[in-house]
Amino acid sequence: MFVIEIYQIGVLVKKNIKKGGSMMKKLHLFTGMIFVFLLITTGVWAAALDTTGPIKIGFMGNMSAPFSLSAKGAATMAVDEINKAGGIQGRQVKLIVEDTKGEIPKAVEIYKKLVMNDRVLAVFIGEKVEMGVAGMEIGAELFPEYPHIFFSTIGSGDDIWHRVRDNYKKYRFGFQTYYAISTNYLKILAPDNIDCFKNQINIKKVAILYEDMEWTKPLRQGIPNVSPSLADIYKSKGVNVVYQTTTSLDQKMFNPIFEEIAKSGADLIDCAVGYIDQPAFIKQWAQSSARNIPVFIWGGLAGMPPIWKMTEGKVNSLMVGSSLVRVAITPKTIPFMDNLVKNYKVGPIFGSHTTYDTIYGFKKAIEKAGGTGNIDNLIKQLEQVEEVAVLGTIGWNAKYHYNLPPPKYITPIVQWQDGEMKVIYPLKYKMADYKAPKDLRK
């Protein structure tokens, strides 16, 4: 209809052209306006992507938080390595670092600055998922005029990839790189973990503790038409769930919980926690009636070296998902850890591996795309890329843009044994046999 109307106007002008030039001038003005309108509405009129100068990457995080500092160090290391090796297709990479101070409004303003003023090709947010969500929303507003890629390299949960699932066209520029999302927790990690516990501990009864956060809701409730709850997965594996509870992040007294668990007869305490006061939790467990019941914590401070001193060794025998153990998952693992500590003065805590791996995955996608001139071609290459990484193979689900799940990208289960973290699962990377709490306390 729109094209027909323009054609009709052209015919009308031809009929009246002998009457003077005013109609022709009006047509030129009108068609110019139509051209601008089409550019805007189709997204063609957008800030041109730089295809010759440095490839700019923006990194933002809370620079008073250890995880953001570690991720920043990893990003700097990756960029330094890439530039030393000749850059990406001969172009150097420029890293622009910004401090959000942990404030969402500030994060939004920084995101705008990076995309609109600094004209970065990609924004990396190395911070909690709320920051990633805020960035993704402002990014979606800017994307039609300022094409770019967004990576969340620390935020867990489902809020980011769900946006891609629910509105691919709007959020296709966004990718999530963290160890797992709820779907993979329930469909891959939980069954694998349960098999590990059954084989190594011979569990028949389990107590489950959740922290009250968004990321544990799917574990508690299941995901409709996708997966049952964590408790139901245990039951399907022949393990009886004898106790369940949820704790708040500000809770400090855990003794009543441990006493109830001791009475339940549980063979294992499965703790879907990452942000509670883990030192207090561990100390109280080690002094409770449940002290000889094995504990597994999904992640957090319990999987970091400082926890040994913080708990005065009471973490001994505890199992935890940790990427901070010195085991060669790939040829990149040990060199990454050593280089980060020696030359960048930060420890390889959670978020550092994923940030480093994401930059290398991004590099390979640019090379596969033949450059940075076509953002949708770059997105398609990110959806297909697989690259050897620190923790396995980096890549993203082509449909939903979360990173590849185990066994491609893994977090080992380790057990604290006399001051050291030892991998007990997967068996491919096993460093030691599981030992019971009572045996390690002798």
| Structural domains present in the chain | 2-35 (no CATH), 55-179+329-394 (3.40.50.2300), 182-322+412-440 (3.40.50.2300)
* 296-315 pLDDT, tens digit each: 999 889 998 999 999 999 99
67: Cα separation from own chain's centroid = 13
- Rounded to whole angstroms, the Cα distance separating 14 from 77 reads 66
How many of the other CB atoms lie within 10 Å of CB of 383? 17
Q: Which of 405, 415, 411 is nearest to 323 (CA)?
A: 411
Does 405 sit behind a cis peptide bond, omega within 30 degrees of 0 on the bond before it? no
Asked whether 123 and 116 are in contact (CB, 8 A), the reply is: no
- pLDDT mean over 419-442: 94
DSSP states along 309-336: HHTTTTTTT-EEE-S-S---SSTTHHHH
- Rounded to whole angstroms, the Cα distance separating 94 from 122 reads 11
Check residue 45 and give its pLDDT. 44
Average pLDDT value over all residues in the chain: 89
How many of the other CB atoms lie within 10 Å of CB of 277? 18
Asked whether 133 and 160 are in contact (CB, 8 A), the reply is: yes
pLDDT band at residue 287 using 50, 70 and 90 as cut-offs: very high
Asked whether 164 and 174 are in contact (CB, 8 A), the reply is: yes
Percent of the chain at pLDDT above 90?
76
Check residue 11 and give its pLDDT. 41
* 141-192 pLDDT, tens digit each: 999 999 999 999 988 778 899 999 999 999 999 999 986 778 888 988 899 9
* 105-126 pLDDT, tens digit each: 999 999 999 999 999 999 999 9
- Rounded to whole angstroms, the Cα distance separating 430 from 414 reads 9
3-state secondary structure of 341: helix
Percent of the chain at pLDDT above 70?
89
Q: How large is the greatest C-alpha to C-alpha distance in the chain, in angstroms? A: 107
How many of the other CB atoms lie within 10 Å of CB of 430? 16
- Rounded to whole angstroms, the Cα distance separating 425 from 432 reads 9
- Rounded to whole angstroms, the Cα distance separating 265 from 326 reads 35
Q: Which of 131, 129, 113, 128 is nearest to 56 (CA)?
A: 113
3-state secondary structure of 369: helix
Residues 6+ away with beta carbon under 8 Å from 363: 82, 88
Residues 6+ away with beta carbon under 8 Å from 322: 299, 302, 303, 304, 411, 412, 414, 421
Q: Which of 263, 205, 261 is nearest to 231 (CA)?
A: 205
- Rounded to whole angstroms, the Cα distance separating 421 from 317 reads 9
- pLDDT mean over 236-246: 97
The b/e string for 201-225 (b: 16+ C-beta within 10 A; e otherwise) is bebebbbbbbbbbebbbbbeebbee
Pairing of strands 319-321, 413-417: antiparallel
Does 426 sit behind a cis peptide bond, omega within 30 degrees of 0 on the bond before it? yes
Check residue 419 and give its pLDDT. 96
Pairing of strands 55-61, 122-125: parallel
Check residue 66 and give its pLDDT. 87
Q: Return the structure tokens found at 341.
A: 């500590």
Check residue 22 and give its pLDDT. 54
pLDDT band at residue 28 using 50, 70 and 90 as cut-offs: low
- 266, pLDDT greater than 60: yes
- Rounded to whole angstroms, the Cα distance separating 199 from 220 reads 24
- 44, pLDDT greater than 60: no
Q: Which residue has the higher pLDDT, 3 or 153?
A: 153
- Rounded to whole angstroms, the Cα distance separating 293 from 266 reads 7
Q: What kind and span of H or E run contains 264?
A: helix 255-264
- pTM of the predicted model as reported, rounded to 2 decimal places: 0.84
